[in-house]
Structure 1
Amino acid sequence: MERRSFLRGAVIGTSAAAFGGSLWQSAAVAAPAQPGAGPYGALGAADANGIQLPAGFTSRVIARSGQTVTGTSYAWHNAPDGGACFADGTGWIYVSNSEINPSGGASAVKFNSSGTVTDAYRILSGTRQNCAGGKTPWNTWLSCEEVSLGYVYETNPWGGTATRRDAMGRFKHEAAAADPVRQAIYLTEDETDGCFYRFLPTTWGNLSSGTLQVFKAGTATSGTFTWQNVPDPDGSPTTTRNQVSGAKRFNGGEGCYYANDTVWFTTKGDNRVWQVNLAAGTYELAYDDSLVSGGGAPLTGVDNITGTSSGDLFVAEDGGNMEICVITPDDIVAPFLRITGQSGSEITGPAFSPDGTRLYFSSQRGTSGSSSGGITYEVTGPFRA
């Protein structure tokens, strides 16, 4: 494996915080990320919200499923899942999916420049089990249905019309990540024998038409890869993952994140974080809990993933110890926060505010263990720039 090396950089377009240019130094060879001391120090005692955080960080509850969001007249949706933040003048918007079936959809919370909630509202309705998704460089939210022959819906964080994007394929969609350099959208598939895809729009910024391709590689955990067109993106009668010979299989695709010529995605079935160097045409493991040395793995139940301009990856757990863990540019993995008293839940939707000082996420089932018990949080503190 080749160690990843990040350079700090600016945001590419409006898509995501940028990671650095020399991602694969040929002289450095190392295993995937290993446990160590995290950049923020040890977790403290649980706060009033039941969250253990490093020194200098604080949490607050933003919304609870079925309850009116403070300062608004809108009742928050059940089972909050994937999310993203969007700049809104001097404030910002946090968008969150609803992973229930039927109904599903997505909602948004609007904040002013001081972080006060000023509005909350529905942005997508009438869909099924909207799990993860992704933000586009043109400031729309791609909300993905995690059901067989599911669709991707392009939604407006400010409200209004949502559009089903049939050309992006019908399969058990999970997450999406936009790459403005290659003008591609990467897509994960939540099947035990799922695939990894990219969608190439006919016109960048317009997802109404384009080409769906699948990732082809050998059975090893590192190597080279190619892309091949999926002949029948609607997945019927043959599922998309079974149309191309040699398509690489991944065990339960989950979160997906792009920055500076690299895309990371997670697989929950084997607790791995995969790293794809798009410029070099190579892939490897950034993390694998079965390859952790010297004791228990700090990150299990690998699920949603996001990142920061410092090069840190933040990975949420579906179960595990109910933690969000950080993977640093020097391949250290450590807990960043832990939610206590909610073992029947999972952490979903991690996303940073545009200025990088606030992290939003949800506990999908909260203390009740039910989809009606979801809680959406904000953590504020000295995140690395």
Structure 2
Amino acid sequence: MERRSFLRGAVIGTSAAAFGGSLWHGAAFAAPAQPGAGPYGALGAADSNGILLPAGFTSRVIARSGQTVSGTSYTWHNAPDGGACFVDGTGWIYVSNSEINPSGGASAVKFNSAGTITGAYRILSNTRQNCAGGATPWNTWLSCEEVSLGYVYETNPWGGTATRRDAMGRFKHEAAAADPVRQAIYLTEDESDGCFYRFLPTTWGNLSSGTLQVFKASTATSGTFTWQNVPDPDGSPTTTRNQVSGAKRFNGGEGCYYADDTVWFTTKGDNRVWQVNLAAGTYELAYDDSLVSGGGAPLTGVDNVTGTTSGDLFVSEDGGNMEICVITPDDIVAPFLRITGQSSSEITGPAFSPDGSRLYFSSQRGTTGSSSGGITYEVTGPFRA
């Protein structure tokens, strides 16, 4: 099933019951996305920042690890990773994790309505290897520790107190995505035999207590699924992924993104993007590099993922060609940008400004291949609404 059809149904208010008809039952699942002409055209020559972009788009450097953020007195953190944007009056804030261990944490950059940097500061300290995470509908940033028995920390993009959320489980956390319809937070696990989880808060908007559940399915790449409670979310003495019989295994969970009754997440071990249709209770592959017709997969090393109101997914690469690729609602996958001269790095933290006109992301190790060489960028241009 094309995502355009699914999203259109969500937009016009199609109920979950409607998916019990021929749209789902007896119909084959769609083939994963295939290469084709992207909506933004071919990549041009590398710009002054070494980034290849389509016509009409420009890039600038926002911050560099170990250096003062322009216009502020704040030194940007090493190994920038997962990120998100938040509305701030007429401007916005971009938050970014630091994937170092120890002393990971997260920082933020504040922009005014013209996109000028007006501040930068620390929002989380003294944590470990903060990789990805996710924004909540109540404007907090969930920063996830990618270590064994790691925690989720709920942070304030404006600064102040950060709170460890023990009820969300202790495992090798990667990313999080909030679903206001089912009042759930979806969580990926960066293990070669990891699981996919959801956390159901006792009270929506308060993550201090709730129920951690794991995704269960009996088929390989598509079918129906259920959720089952994880008996012991603290992961000791038995890890969370080994507590529920029949929990589906995923090879290295990475990015996670929710929109319109669907959650997408990536697995780096097998270069896949998974699509979970929550209203229908089904899942399938949105992309698999091994199933690309004719070889030459444009997207490898799949990592962080975000999306736009047009239904496009933007997936960044850890390795590969150092690209961010777009997967369209018509199931076409194509490069959107490519970073040159940084083959020992990975692209992290893609996130759009609230108005959708600017894309933020980082090259975690930059040109040096070291965590102290991270570079955070902004790309501006005519993104599809």
TM-score normalised by length of structure 2: 0.95
**Is the 8 Å Cα contact of residues 356 and 383 (structure 1) preserved in structure 2?**
yes
> Secondary structure of the residue that 1:17 maps to in structure 2?
helix
> How many Å separate the matches in 1 of 2:257 and 2:333?
17
Deviation, structure 1 residue 21: 15
Query: Residues 324 and 106 of structure 1: is their aligned pair in 2 closer, same or farther, counting only changes over 3 Å?
Result: same
**Is the 8 Å Cα contact of residues 50 and 339 (structure 1) preserved in structure 2?**
yes
**Is the 8 Å Cα contact of residues 185 and 200 (structure 1) preserved in structure 2?**
yes
> How many Å separate the matches in 2 of 1:106 and 1:19?
41
**Is the 8 Å Cα contact of residues 12 and 18 (structure 1) preserved in structure 2?**
no
After TM superposition, the structure 1 stretch with the greater mean CA deviation from structure 2, 7-16 or 87-96, is 7-16
Deviation, structure 1 residue 101: 0.2
Deviation, structure 1 residue 30: 3.1
Query: Residues 3 and 137 of structure 1: is their aligned pair in 2 closer, same or farther, counting only changes over 3 Å?
Result: closer
> How many Å separate the matches in 1 of 2:14 and 2:138?
7
**Is the 8 Å Cα contact of residues 12 and 260 (structure 1) preserved in structure 2?**
no
**Is the 8 Å Cα contact of residues 97 and 143 (structure 1) preserved in structure 2?**
yes
After TM superposition, the structure 1 stretch with the greater mean CA deviation from structure 2, 107-116 or 10-19, is 10-19
Identical amino acids, percent of aligned pairs? 94
> How many Å separate the matches in 1 of 2:20 and 2:88?
26
Deviation, structure 1 residue 295: 2.5
Query: Residues 13 and 27 of structure 1: is their aligned pair in 2 closer, same or farther, counting only changes over 3 Å?
Result: closer
After TM superposition, the structure 1 stretch with the greater mean CA deviation from structure 2, 308-317 or 28-37, is 28-37
Deviation, structure 1 residue 220: 1.5
Map 1:50-69 to 2 at 5 A.
Answer: 50-69=50-69
Deviation, structure 1 residue 3: 6.2
Query: Residues 12 and 267 of structure 1: is their aligned pair in 2 closer, same or farther, counting only changes over 3 Å?
Result: farther
Query: Residues 11 and 158 of structure 1: is their aligned pair in 2 closer, same or farther, counting only changes over 3 Å?
Result: farther
After TM superposition, the structure 1 stretch with the greater mean CA deviation from structure 2, 34-43 or 12-21, is 12-21
**Is the 8 Å Cα contact of residues 19 and 280 (structure 2) preserved in structure 1?**
no
1:131 aligns with 2:131: yes
> Secondary structure of the residue that 2:77 maps to in structure 1?
coil
Query: Residues 12 and 161 of structure 1: is their aligned pair in 2 closer, same or farther, counting only changes over 3 Å?
Result: farther
Query: Residues 143 and 48 of structure 1: is their aligned pair in 2 closer, same or farther, counting only changes over 3 Å?
Result: same
Residue 151 of structure 2 is matched in structure 1 by: 151
**Is the 8 Å Cα contact of residues 3 and 311 (structure 2) preserved in structure 1?**
no
Deviation, structure 1 residue 294: 1.5
**Is the 8 Å Cα contact of residues 10 and 260 (structure 2) preserved in structure 1?**
no
Render the CA deviation track for 1:128-175: whole Å, top value 9, x for unaligned: 000000000000000000000000000000000000000000000000
After TM superposition, the structure 1 stretch with the greater mean CA deviation from structure 2, 19-28 or 300-309, is 19-28
> How many Å separate the matches in 2 of 1:371 and 1:15?
47
**Is the 8 Å Cα contact of residues 132 and 255 (structure 2) preserved in structure 1?**
yes
5+ residue gaps, structure 2, are: none
Deviation, structure 1 residue 20: 18
Render the CA deviation track for 1:64-89: whole Å, top value 9, x for unaligned: 00000000000000000000000000
Query: Residues 379 and 66 of structure 1: is their aligned pair in 2 closer, same or farther, counting only changes over 3 Å?
Result: same
> How many Å separate the matches in 2 of 1:15 and 1:177?
22
Deviation, structure 1 residue 355: 0.1
Q: CA RMSD in A?
A: 3.4
Residue 286 of structure 1 is matched in structure 2 by: 286
Residue 45 of structure 2 is matched in structure 1 by: 45
Residue 248 of structure 2 is matched in structure 1 by: 248
> How many Å separate the matches in 2 of 1:186 and 1:259?
12
Deviation, structure 1 residue 219: 3.6
Query: Residues 383 and 170 of structure 1: is their aligned pair in 2 closer, same or farther, counting only changes over 3 Å?
Result: same
> How many Å separate the matches in 2 of 1:11 and 1:143?
30
Deviation, structure 1 residue 364: 0.1
Render the CA deviation track for 1:81-132: whole Å, top value 9, x for unaligned: 0000000000000000000000000000000000000000000000000000
Deviation, structure 1 residue 218: 1.0
5+ residue gaps, structure 1, are: none
**Is the 8 Å Cα contact of residues 216 and 246 (structure 2) preserved in structure 1?**
yes
Deviation, structure 1 residue 23: 9.6
**Is the 8 Å Cα contact of residues 123 and 156 (structure 2) preserved in structure 1?**
yes
**Is the 8 Å Cα contact of residues 2 and 331 (structure 2) preserved in structure 1?**
no
TM-score normalised by length of structure 1: 0.95
Deviation, structure 1 residue 18: 19
Render the CA deviation track for 1:25-71: whole Å, top value 9, x for unaligned: 98685310000000000000000000000000000000000000000
Query: Residues 22 and 312 of structure 1: is their aligned pair in 2 closer, same or farther, counting only changes over 3 Å?
Result: farther
Paired residue total? 385
Deviation, structure 1 residue 5: 2.5
